[in-house]
Amino acid sequence: MRAMVLDAPGRPLRAATVPTPQPGPGQVRLQVLTCGVCRTDLHVADGELTEPKLPLVLGHEIVGTVEARGLDAHRYAVGARVGVPWLGWTCGECVFCRRGLENLCERARFTGYQLDGGYAEYTVADERFCFPIPDSYRDVEAAPLLCAGLIGYRALRAAGNPERLGIYGFGAAAHIVTQVARHEGRRVFAFTRAGDTAAQTFARTLGAEWSGASDDAPPEPLDAAIIFAPVGALVPAALRTVTKGGTVVCAGIHMSDIPAFPYEILWGERVVRSVANLTRKDGEEFLALAPQIPVRTEVTVYPLEQANEALAQLRAGQITGAAVLSLSGRT
Ligand SMILES: [Zn+2]
Ligand SMILES: [Zn+2]
């Protein structure tokens, strides 16, 4: 099969022909229709996440068609359209799994990191961690729901019940979570890189009532903020915008160092927390909710062979909404 392979961090992906994977017990093999390109893929490719399998096929927002089933894999019929997220396997036995926190599993394996992912014509996945894809979404529209959507949803829940929600970094996750937050009657304030008027306009078209640069003061205090951009300096910036009792959620898997800040901006029972990975429950809840709103995703589609270009444009902040690779030639 054709695949884009990461041989080592810091190197471009290599277009290769590799053996088509065989589904093991409990696994399905998917013909990949499309795979989203996530900022986490950049952190893996750049070596900021330090434990990838190598060589590695990136990609953890996979939409594919079940094409073969391993021993004892009966959950999905051949031909079913399913999604594969970042959480690819958990042990079910550790203290976190037993507490319902499988996102924190001590032995978790992640798609496109410790397991080969979706930048390829085929992939295999544990059927217990796959999700049915809602029928109302086209393949490329569905892909960003599987990480940007799920992580955004988990981050929104972690933010509490804010009336006024700040969002820092207006990429794939933000454009989805804004729609969910607006649906729930929350007021959204979007912060982007200074001068990124395209992203600021995009945020307002999705229902943000205000948008500005990340060091601007919003017109009124916020009740919570979610940081999607991997920039540690945004933590004190967000804390300064959040009122007493408010939460700042760091939703990325990697962030540059957070600069020192005065205690007074944390005082007043403000909270700083992270959100890590996802649980299957998050996925089930979000994929049931998304078509009801309905969440619409804005995508820029690339062929598989242009994965490096997609990653470069994501790094440069040049993508409105989400980048996806299409394997089927369909957009
Ligand atoms: Zn576990
Ligand atoms: Zn992701």
Q: Distance from the CA of 157 to the center of ligand 2, in angstroms? A: 17
CA geometry: angle at 89 spanning 88 and 95, to 5°? 135
Q: What is the pLDDT of residue 234?
A: 98
Q: Distance from the CA of 91 to the center of ligand 1, in angstroms? A: 4
CA-to-CA separations, 15 to 180, 213, 264, in angstroms, rounded: 37, 38, 52
Pairing of strands 27-37, 122-126: antiparallel
What are the start-end ranges of the H helices in 99-230?
Answer: 139-142, 148-158, 172-183, 197-205
Instruction: For residue 43, give the ligand nearest its CA.
Output: 2
Q: What is the pLDDT of residue 331?
A: 53
Q: Distance from the CA of 19 to the center of ligand 2, in angstroms? A: 25
Beta bridge partner(s), residue 66: 30
CB proximity list for 49: less than 8 A, separation 6 or greater = 40, 43, 113, 253, 254
Q: Distance from the CA of 57 to the center of ligand 1, in angstroms? A: 24
Q: Distance from the CA of 83 to the center of ligand 2, in angstroms? A: 13
Q: Distance from the CA of 89 to the center of ligand 1, in angstroms? A: 9
Reading the block at residue 151, the tokens are 């992580």
Q: Which long-range contacts (CB under 8 A, 24 or more apart) does 46-50 make?
A: 46/9, 46/10, 47/9, 47/10, 48/254, 49/113, 49/253, 49/254
Instruction: For residue 86, give the ligand nearest its CA.
Output: 2
Instruction: For residue 279, give the ligand nearest its CA.
Output: 1
Nearest to 53, CA basis, from 89, 98, 27: 89
Q: What is the mean pLDDT of each run of 10 residues along the chain (331 residues)?
A: 98 98 98 97 96 98 98 98 98 97 98 98 98 97 97 97 97 97 98 95 97 97 97 98 98 96 98 97 97 97 97 94 88 53
Cα–Cα distance measured from residue 288 to residue 136, given in angstroms and rounded to the nearest whole number: 11
Q: Distance from the CA of 88 to the center of ligand 1, in angstroms? A: 12
Q: What is the pLDDT of residue 328?
A: 82
Q: Distance from the CA of 108 to the center of ligand 1, in angstroms? A: 6
pTM of the model: 0.96
Cα–Cα distance measured from residue 153 to residue 130, given in angstroms and rounded to the nearest whole number: 17
Reading the block at residue 162, the tokens are 């804010």
Cα–Cα distance measured from residue 140 to residue 224, given in angstroms and rounded to the nearest whole number: 31
Reading the block at residue 108, the tokens are 């978790």
Q: Distance from the CA of 212 to the center of ligand 2, in angstroms? A: 25
DSSP string across 46-91: TTSS----SSEE--S-EEEEEEEE-TT--SS-TT-EEEE-SEEE--
- Give strand ranges (E) for 195-287: 210-213, 222-227, 242-250, 271-274
44 neighbors 12 (Cβ within 8 angstroms): no
Q: What is the pLDDT of residue 19?
A: 98
CB proximity list for 50: less than 8 A, separation 6 or greater = none
Q: Distance from the CA of 154 to the center of ligand 2, in angstroms? A: 13
Q: Distance from the CA of 107 to the center of ligand 1, in angstroms? A: 6
Residues in the chain: 331
Instruction: For residue 92, give the ligand nearest its CA.
Output: 1
Cα–Cα distance measured from residue 105 to residue 123, given in angstroms and rounded to the nearest whole number: 23
Cα–Cα distance measured from residue 119 to residue 61, given in angstroms and rounded to the nearest whole number: 10
Beta bridge partner(s), residue 62: 35, 84
Q: Distance from the CA of 264 to the center of ligand 2, in angstroms? A: 33
